[in-house]
Amino acid sequence: MAARRGFLDWIVGPHRLSALAGFLQPLVDGGDQHGCFVADGKLVVSRGDRAVSFEAIDAALHRVAPFVVGRVEFWRTAAADAALLAVGDLIALLRLGVDEFAFRKGCTYGTVLVDVESGRVVDVLPDRTSETFATWLTEHPGVEIICRDRATAHTKAVKEAAPNALEVADRWHLLQNLSAAVEKTCHQHRDCLRKRAEEETVTEVPEMAPMLLAPAELPRTQTIERTRHRYEDIHRLLERRWTISAIARRLNLDRKTVRRFRDTGLDQLLASARDRRPNGVLEPFKANLNARFTEAQGQVSGTRLFLEIQASGYRGSRQVVRKHLAALRAGTAEPIRADIPSPRKITSWIMRPRETLTESQDERLLQVRLVCPDISRACDLARAFADLVRHRRGFLLMEWIRQAEQEAPKPMKGFAGFLRQDLDAVTAGLTLPWSSGAVEGNVNRVKTLKRAMYGRASFSLLRTRILIRP
């Protein structure tokens, strides 16, 4: 009898084959066209026109594993690997999820394939190239729906090997890409927020002869010194005609960081490093200290000022106050930084449902939107797109793309352009219930298995452990 889509051929002892056939026969019994039997010293599972439950086969294998060869040995044998491959071949896989995972982050990657209906791993591929995935799709025809992220390699493989399959873009990845576009918009317009905040925090000083202070200098902090040395190292290697990738490997930096130091002036990098310094306990009281220092023409007692701000809620030490006053006299004190929210914080307020924001968060977001029209427009578009995702209103996607391409800031226009290039998959993702949630869960499981073996397992052993659930 020939199986329609494959067979489970597991070579063990003849008496054990009969026992295994007895366990599996009730699962596939249905007449002459399919069944479980022993022929020529081999176990054959014939499917015919009836689908075989993956969970049922797996449970039966677990029941018979200790009886056949002993449980520990069972997981290590090549027969277990072959058994899982054959069982996967017996299943009529219609809805597939695909994603990559790292064998070694930044170096080598593999691909995990998941049945999004059952959440079970179907197969594991040794790399993430489009050729390998296309070969797998060719050997396993009949896939109707493929859930994926926005990796171009997966898209290319599907178009080559399964052109009739419907691609579904994952909704979580779409929101992640949208969040990145919103955050980039907030970064580009951070100066608008800074100027407005500085205007509001200007302290009025009594009319008197101004005290002449030395010109402000950058404080010699660890962050500023590291930025200065990194800039010198990168430009020294650039003068030697090193490539971006070579410099990144030599200095153990990301290529984006190297590119930013190449294209940005030192003064701008140092100013950014100064602004990144965390707010200390003295920060809320610096405006008052600076005003009192100017009023007294620098002739002021550090102890007296310490007691004044301590009564107002200062919880730091007296030495911090003295150091700040010494920096004012030397002209090296940092300018008072305006209290403006970071781009990431603004993005979190925009991306979260409005009903989950506190009253203060909603008020601060409103202030940001009043200051910068571009951030306000990005907020409106982001919330409209999130509404399409959460309520699966894919039929409105084209209208959203047109609005974003006409009136949105540049990062949002770029996001809209990417959606237009992948329009069919994105529309399906905003319409159908399928997503890559089950795939992401299995990727986390793969990471756990990989780390449990301290990254030393061969691909064959890791793949077997992924395919077989204990």
pLDDT at 294 over 50: yes
Chain-wide mean pLDDT for the chain? 75
Confidence (pLDDT) at 470: 54
Q: What type of residue is 42?
A: K
- Rounded Cα distance between 25 and 326, Å, is 87
Is the CB of residue 415 less than 8 Å from the CB of residue 181?
A: yes
pLDDT tens string 218-242: 666 677 888 888 999 999 999 998 9
> For the residues 273-301, what does the mean pLDDT come to?
70
Q: With a cut of 50, say whether residue 53 has pLDDT above it.
A: no
Q: Has residue 210 got a pLDDT over 70?
A: no
In this structure, what token pair is assigned to residue 3?
Answer: 């199986």
Going by pLDDT thresholds of 50, 70 and 90, the confidence category of residue 201 is low
> According to the per-residue pLDDT averaged within each range, which of 61-75, 244-258, 296-310, 332-346 is highest?
244-258
Q: Assign 383 a pLDDT band (cuts: 50, 70, 90).
A: very high
Q: In this model, does residue 49 exceed pLDDT 50?
A: no
Q: What are 96's strand-pairing partners?
A: 115, 146
DSSP, residue by residue, 285-354: GHHHHHHHHHHTTT---HHHHHHHHHHTT--S-HHHHHHHHHHHHHT-PPPPPP----HHHHHHHHHS-G
- What is the three-class DSSP state of 410? helix
- pTM above 0.85? no
3 state SS for the chain: CCCCCCCCCCCCCHHHHHHHHHHHHHHHCCCCCCEEEEECCEEEEECCCCCCCHHHHHHHHHHHHHHHCCHHHHHHCHHHHHHHHHHHHHCCCCEEEEEEEEEECCCEEEEEEEECCCCEEEEEECCCCHHHHHHHHHHCCCCCEEEECCCHHHHHHHHHHCCCCEEEECHHHHHHHHHHHHHHHHHHCHHHHHHHHHHHCCCCCCCCCCCCCCCCCCCCCHHHHHHHHHHHHHHHHHHCCCCHHHHHHHHCCCHHHHHHHHHCCHHHHHHHHHHCCCCCCCHHHHHHHHHHHHHCCCCCCHHHHHHHHHHCCCCCCHHHHHHHHHHHHHCCCCCCCCCCCCHHHHHHHHHCCHHHCCHHHHHHHHHHHHHCHHHHHHHHHHHHHHHHHHHCCHHHHHHHHHHHHHHCCHHHHHHHHHHHHCHHHHHHHCCCCCCCHHHHHHHHHHHHHHHHCCCCCCHHHHHHHHHCCC
What's the pLDDT tens digit per position in 64-95? 444 343 333 443 343 444 444 444 444 446 78
pLDDT tens sequence across 87-117: 444 444 678 899 998 888 878 899 999 988 8
In degrees to the nearest 10, what's the CA dihedral of 314, 317, 318, 322?
Answer: -100
**Spatial distance between the Cα atoms of 436 and 425, rounded to a whole number of angstroms:** 13
Confidence of residue 332 (pLDDT cuts 50, 70, 90): low
Residues 6 or more apart from 446 whose CB is under 8 A from it? 101, 112, 124, 462, 466
Per-residue pLDDT band for 18 (boundaries 50, 70, 90) equals low
pLDDT of residue 292: 78
Query: How far is Cα 461 from Cα 453, in angstroms, rounded to an integer?
Result: 10
